Amino acid sequence: MAKEPKKDPKKEDKAAPEAGEAVPAASSGRMKLVVMIVVAVLVSMSVAGGAVWWFLGHHASSKAEPKLPDKAVYYDLTPAFTVTLTDPDTGNLRYMQANVTIMTRIPKVVDDLKSYDPEIRNDLNMLYSGYHPAQLMSAAGREALEKRSLAEVNQVLAHETGRKNACDSFLFTSFVVQ
């Protein structure tokens, strides 16, 4: 008869349990450790993904692009203004001639300027004829006249259309006093 090999009791414990047998305590401990590691890795990846979204995606999409102003639209008041000025010191008549351009950033305002051109021209002629010729000879005097002219144009448009400060700039493209 052949001798049966001796069974090592340590090797028997390490053998895989057969179906229906209970899992040894050491195997269930390892299984818990593996599950905890997998859960920790998934949580870490979720936190990292959330942080990347927050810092790169969330802030970039929530910041609105700064709105650039609309393009400037220019309207020439033609023909040129020609106004008689009286020099109160000498009583002499002097003349002012000015070409005027108005700038706005609202395209619809150009249509309003065309519609109310006669009223705007009247108000500007009245404004210009009240100036002393010496006031218009300096750059500071012309700048003050530009500001008052812009206010007159905006006042007409506000009264007629309800738009306040519809025009942004009033420009003398040619200005002569003689």
Judge whether 7 lies within some domain.
no
> pLDDT per residue over 103-149, tens digit each?
999 999 999 999 999 999 999 999 999 888 988 999 999 999 999 99
| 172, 103: one domain | yes
| 129, 155: one domain | yes
| 48, 81: one domain | no
pTM of the entire structure?
Answer: 0.61
Work out the pLDDT band at 1, boundaries 50, 70, 90. Answer: low
In angstroms, the CA 61 to CA 59 distance is: 6
pLDDT at site 45: 86
